[in-house]
Structure 1
């Protein structure tokens, strides 16, 4: 399949085809953030395609090598990987950790920080070990590796501050009543500046984001047009966190396994340029729904893209 531009918006472009070909077409040092969630190394084959074991790691490595070339020196590569089990036994696969070690030790990425995405709405799985035999707990956490090209990637945690807890809000209103400043047992003195309002709390590397989307415009249009939506969408708040954390307005964000193009939608929302690519033309066509605001036009756009016609969404009713 040859790479083709399927549609574009004011800030972004969505491609149908092999993202290795898209990566080859980009200038070196031109992408600020690659944010993606590839098909996981699951034992059960999925409709969107997936490899397993060492084959999966080698397959993903081909992309990572090219990603590193295209990133700016202060750029980042954020990779969301779900957990998996070994075949036929209740023992966890180490594939996501092998990916981490290979990317750092062989390709030359740096592990800027490891994140863990806790999805409280995830269904119990795998069925054999969790539901039937009841010998394992529900797998609800993905590993999210934040790789950087250099040891000093662009990042500003002030852009992703979390809301203060109720107790902290009370402390800010009346610090003398709710907080007795003193030296901690560890020897740290946090009396200075602890009760200062910085606009929010520093977030942790445990991202608690339920993937419970049920009534989004994307799914609504899919339902109305009797189209199967992408089965493995990540919630918008996941790419949104890293886009705000690791890029500035005007920077370029790339998703090499675009799926329903959640990353592109979040990048557009926050004034970043974006590129997205997926092998499946039906998924690419449906992903345009994220940028439209009219069911009739959504059907027209979907049909045109499905027939491999380029569409400029600026000619339609946009969000």
Structure 2
């Protein structure tokens, strides 16, 4: 069923292959129970990584066959959020369509009820130049600097509340709200702006589906939702990263950004809801869920990464009691 490695006040990590854990445990006790499944699965890279990744048709077949499992585990109004990067054709300066085929494979799988609700883009200007052969050696392509984040669900109306993930107002918008002086009327875009359109202070503006994890324009403030900023600004120097550097612990090479997990957790769940990450890695999802008082289950097949993730829950600011089984 997958060995329980540790548990906390709100969750537990199961060590084992997620499909086997599902067949022997999750399908029996957790069918229809997860409000959110959020994960960054192994990317279909051309070069093998320590965390394990398939390629080509083998990857597509494996990925598509996850759809019935996800559909079974989600509540009727639950959400599936997956982050996945781009891949390139082996030995060619040509971007692969594999990630798009994977998305279509999920939502068109006849044994599931999934549909794409919305796509998000996570832009990271600090990513190393890749694919290196075609960017830094031959200089034929630009840097691949973003990942796709797909929000899927079994219903057209999954539980969601964008008022819980508002962005800070821009300085210009704050002035408009304060002065209530602006040009109302019809715009060239044919939008009609009423006299009271900007009269109310709603606590922030509605979030965009682009996550700008660092500033694109140095003269403009990044206006990520507060839930993202609270994790993003200190991500590289938080307790987990400091401890790993100090103790020489190898970090998982494809960690999901904590700010993304925080955003979707706040956006799509309430306190007490149950969250699953079937490819936990260093267990960013469990840490964020613990901090936000959501119940969680994480599975991870790599024993080293699973044990290393214990460090996250030793963070004194988290205030969590960890029990190693």
User: TM-score, normalising length from structure 1?
Assistant: 0.88
SS at structure 1 position matched to 2:36:
strand
Question: Contact 1:23–1:66 (CA<8 Å) still a contact in 2?
Answer: yes
User: TM-score, normalising length from structure 2?
Assistant: 0.87
Deviations 1:278-304 (A, max 9, x none): 11111111111111137xxxxxxxxxx
- In the alignment, what sits opposite 2:200? 196
- In the alignment, what sits opposite 2:171? 166
CA distance in 1, matches of 2:191, 2:236: 46
- In the alignment, what sits opposite 1:40? 43
- In the alignment, what sits opposite 2:95? 92
- In the alignment, what sits opposite 1:20? 19
CA distance in 1, matches of 2:66, 2:119: 20
Indicate whether 1:262 and 2:271 are aligned. Answer: no
Deviations 1:106-129 (A, max 9, x none): 243111111111112111111111
- In the alignment, what sits opposite 1:304? none
RMSD, matched Cα:
1.7
- In the alignment, what sits opposite 1:10? 9
Aligned pairs (5 A) from 1:1-319: 3-24=2-23, 25-26=25-26, 27-106=30-109, 107-176=112-181, 179-191=182-194, 192-210=196-214, 213-293=235-315, 313=322
- In the alignment, what sits opposite 1:309? none
Unaligned runs of 5+ in 2: 215-231
Deviations 1:91-146 (A, max 9, x none): 10111111111111224311111111111211111111110111111001111111
Deviations 1:247-273 (A, max 9, x none): 111101110000011111111111110
Question: Contact 2:114–2:152 (CA<8 Å) still a contact in 1?
Answer: yes
Q: How many residues align?
A: 295
CA distance in 1, matches of 2:296, 2:138: 45
Structure 1 residue 193: Cα displacement? 2.8
CA distance in 2, matches of 1:165, 1:215: 27
CA distance in 1, matches of 2:63, 2:103: 11
Structure 1 residue 186: Cα displacement? 3.3
Question: Contact 1:10–1:314 (CA<8 Å) still a contact in 2?
Answer: no
